Structure 1
Amino acid sequence: MSETRTRVITAFIVAPFVVACFVSYKSLIGLVSAVVLLASYELLSMSTSSDKNKYLIHVGVILNVAFVVLYGFSKAENGLLYLSLMFIASAIFLVIFVEEIPQVWNAVLGTILSLIYVAGCLSFFFPIYLKFGWANALLTLTAVWLYDTGAYFVGIKFGKTKISKKFSPNKSLEGIIGGFLSCLAFSIVYKAFFEWLFDAQVMPYASLPIFSAVVSVFDTFGDIFESALKRYFNKKDSGVVLPGHGGMLDRIDGLLFVTPVTYILLTYGIL
């Protein structure tokens, strides 16, 4: 079976379940917790080289999920407080249990990066959902999906102008343009459909080109950043949990950049 066909089949199986989790805030917390569990495990696994220190992966994953649960059920309040508590907890654990001195710095960096990059960034779905509605939260997710899809197929067919030969040689300017147009067309249809069927509040039509540009830029940089991490750790994929897509971190790398930026722009009325 071709990789493209495998990607499509996996997407059709997983996507309906993910979308259904936006029906309620509690199910969204569960979804984000599950995704963070898998993605943080992959990131920490890449950065932990010694089998003797595999327990650091589990500690890091627990701290990531704990942050998501605490932040989610606090109604997206006191995020910095919970992030600080998780860091302090990780520091105490390291001081007590880490036996190999050379592992201290890597363990600290891995834990901090996973807390901020994975749990922290993805948790911005909570304030988007609570302050701007489920429809805008779901649009943030699905627009990234459509951007990735458009960029992937247009890039394969027409991609010639490479934008990051060092870290992500398959990324092309033509793919970004195709992804932008796919995202914009989808966002317009999404707004019209969800406002008509559910009377949902979605960002104005005038904001959709800006939103699509934000998705295009930050999804691309998020993907390239994760590619840089994988190249540093000499990994092709972050994992194998999603056939055709690689690992969970591979699937959400762009979303980790898009979600916080979308929340900021919504907060300041730019979207």
Structure 2
Amino acid sequence: MSSGMLRIAAAIVAIPFFVAATILGDWYFFILIQLLIILGVWEALKLAQQKSASPQMILAAGFSIIWAGLFQFDLSFFALPVILIFLLAVLLVELFRNHGSAILNVSTTVFSVLYVALPMTSLLMLRRMPMELHQSDMTGTQLIFVVLGGIWACDTLAYYGGRLFGRHKFFERVSPKKTWEGAVTGFFGALLGVWLIRWISETSGYTFILTLPQTFVIGVFAGTLGQMGDLAESLLKRDAQVKDSGTLIPGHGGILDRFDSLLFVAPATYIYVYYFIFR
């Protein structure tokens, strides 16, 4: 089966689960995001091992679980103490490990959490935002779908746009196969994706929480920051000299390969919606 067909087949299997968990919310969505966080952090740590680092994998994964739980169970006021405890714990554990470079081990352990767990938690915060702002539960669902719709449309159209029209290299040092044509196609794909989510919601009888211009702002995030997130992960993989961050998803690679754009787009969307629309 070709790479393109594998990508499509994997999407057909995975997307319904993601959609169902998003609609159901509560524990279903929390467990899904927890799995993505743990697997993503683990992949980031494995990349670090390719550079002769010896990160504290169990501690990083454990903190990631606790971190996401703070925002799921309205305990975010403990966030700062938990971060401080984590940083101190990493240093204390490293005192007794004697595994190569302490600076490398500590920095890669902390970075994996900052890179994956913290941004991914933005999805939980977006999904639960209606509870904070006394909005309909559908509001959180719409916000998740508009982010995912923009990113997935951007990725898909960038991939096929690059294959069909790609001529001029885009960030060749980081990702030799990416082209300007693919990037531009992906950007407009993101705008199309967020518009489609809005249209589907309204034609299904739901009032969409965002105006059309506000929706397109998230489309711009997906079309620009999303592609930067993709490039950032490519930079890490290139330094680690691996093609994919993992092998979990056929045709896509690992969790980071599939959700790298979310690490940039989800936090930006949360900040935009929470502080500039609902405040």
What is the TM-score normalised by the length of structure 2?
0.88
1:27/1:86 Cα in 2 relative to 1: closer, same or farther (>3 Å)?
A: farther
Amino acid across the alignment from 2:173: K
Amino acid across the alignment from 1:84: L
For the Cα contact (< 8 Å) 1:70–1:82, is it kept in 2? no
For the Cα contact (< 8 Å) 1:164–1:171, is it kept in 2? yes
Amino acid across the alignment from 1:171: K
Amino acid across the alignment from 1:17: F
- Selected match of 2:236 from 213, 229, 235: 229
Which residues in structure 2 correspond to 1:123-202 (within 5 Å)? Answer: 123-131=121-129, 133-197=140-204, 199-202=206-209
Distance 1:226 1:44 in 2: 13
Amino acid across the alignment from 2:4: T
Distance 1:32 1:208 in 2: 23
Distance 1:257 1:215 in 2: 9
Distance 1:182 1:50 in 2: 36
- Selected match of 1:242 from 236, 240, 249: 249
What is the TM-score normalised by the length of structure 1?
0.90
**Structure 1 position 69 matched with structure 2 position 76:** no
Amino acid across the alignment from 2:58: H
Distance 2:193 2:239 in 1: 35
Aligned to 2:98: 99
Cα offsets for 1:8-63 (capped at 9, x unmatched): 10111011101111121322211111001111111101112599957x22332222
For the Cα contact (< 8 Å) 1:37–1:65, is it kept in 2? yes
**Structure 1 position 263 matched with structure 2 position 270:** yes
Amino acid across the alignment from 1:253: D
**How much has 1:73 moved relative to structure 2?**
1.9
Which residues in structure 2 correspond to 1:12-161 (within 5 Å)? Answer: 12-22=12-22, 23-49=24-50, 53=54, 56-74=56-74, 76-96=76-96, 98-100=97-99, 102-131=100-129, 133-161=140-168
Aligned to 2:133: none
Structure 1 window deviating more from structure 2 (84-93 vs 235-244): it is 84-93
1:50/1:151 Cα in 2 relative to 1: closer, same or farther (>3 Å)?
A: closer
**Structure 1 position 254 matched with structure 2 position 261:** yes
1:50/1:228 Cα in 2 relative to 1: closer, same or farther (>3 Å)?
A: closer
Amino acid across the alignment from 2:114: I
Identity of aligned residues (%): 27
Distance 1:256 1:77 in 2: 23
Q: Aligned-residue CA RMSD in angstroms?
A: 2.2
For the Cα contact (< 8 Å) 2:71–2:125, is it kept in 1? no
**How much has 1:200 moved relative to structure 2?**
4.7
What count of residue pairs does the alignment treat as equivalent? 268
Structure 1 window deviating more from structure 2 (209-218 vs 35-44): it is 209-218
Gaps (5+ residues) in structure 2?
131-139
Gaps (5+ residues) in structure 1?
none
For the Cα contact (< 8 Å) 1:63–1:90, is it kept in 2? no
**How much has 1:175 moved relative to structure 2?**
1.2
Distance 2:29 2:234 in 1: 27
Aligned to 2:136: none
Distance 1:52 1:154 in 2: 38
